Structure 1
Amino acid sequence: MERQHNRPRLKPVRQDLRNHATPAERALWQMIKGRQLEGRKFRRQHSVGRYVLDFYCPAEGLAVELDGAVHADPARAEHDAARQRALEAWGMRALRFENHKILQTPDAVLEAIAEAFSPGGARPVHHP
């Protein structure tokens, strides 16, 4: 079975995305890195299948995606919907936030992420 998480062929893409993070991505990373959010470990620019997730909590099977203006394009919206269906088929959940929400109401975003955590700790996840 082909490796699905952090495929080597996507490493340059992941590195480029990390090196050119948006201000919202940099801000959220500062708030969740190092297990700062309820002790959960997050990875940034983690790939699953052919998709590169902005942030991923492996213990929760939770992706956190940040959307800029490009996501308003109808073609991009269909790509996002296909990505959402693929993640759900793998037993993952995804939360989406607009970039401005991270910058304007960071506490509300952190609260929404924490509310998505499984009660009593991590839940089992099927890793593709």
Structure 2
Amino acid sequence: MMILPGTGRGTGAAGGGGVPHTLRPEVSLARKLRREMSLPEVLLWEQLRGQKTGIKFRHQHPIGPYVCDFYCAGAKLAVEVDGEFHGRGDRPQRDAGRDQFFEQNGHRVLRVAAGEVLRDIEAVVTMIVSSAASPLHQPAAGPPPRAGEE
């Protein structure tokens, strides 16, 4: 592709053209992970995608430098499916760092064991949907105190 001087536009074919778009690394990674989901992730995605609650989920969704397994934007809920390797080596510390990043950026994190997805997917889906449906912040009980009161 040739770039025209001073325009920032290429001389590509009709309808195309323009400067090639470079994806952020986390978007490229998310696309790759969507093609390579584990069996528990595939089964859970089929259930979350097909549920009729009106709560929408995305799979392999980038948040900052990380990609979470499932994400509900309306509830700011990141769902992570943890396989058996998540308890080994430095993985617990890495997962804690991810969780901290998500939480510091206003997202809730729900971790579910891959084995639990395989054993009782209905219970896992119910737990995820319930978490997504619950408000981010619980309202205070009663009216706020008047000025000068606590």
TM-score by length of 1: 0.82
Structure number with the higher helix fraction is 1
4+ runs of 1 displaced by more than 4 Å? none
Q: Which amino acid in structure 1 is aligned with residue 120 of structure 2?
A: T
Q: Which amino acid in structure 2 is aligned with residue 83 of structure 1?
A: R
Residue deviations 1:53-81 (CA, integer Å, cap 9, x gap) = 00000000001100112201140100000
Structure with higher Rg: it is 2
Quick check: 1:59–1:123 contact (8 Å CA) kept in 2?
no
Structure 2 residue 29 is matched with structure 1 residue 13: yes
- More RCO (CA 8 Å, sep 6+): 1
Q: Which amino acid in structure 1 is aligned with residue 54 of structure 2?
A: G
Residue deviations 1:81-123 (CA, integer Å, cap 9, x gap) = 011111111111111111111111011101111221344xx65
Gaps of 5+ in 1: 1-6
Query: In the alignment, which of 97, 102, 109 is matched to residue 82 of structure 1?
Result: 97
Structure 2 residue 56 is matched with structure 1 residue 49: no
Matched length: 115
Quick check: 2:55–2:133 contact (8 Å CA) kept in 1?
no
Identity of aligned residues (%): 35
Gaps of 5+ in 2: 1-22, 138-150
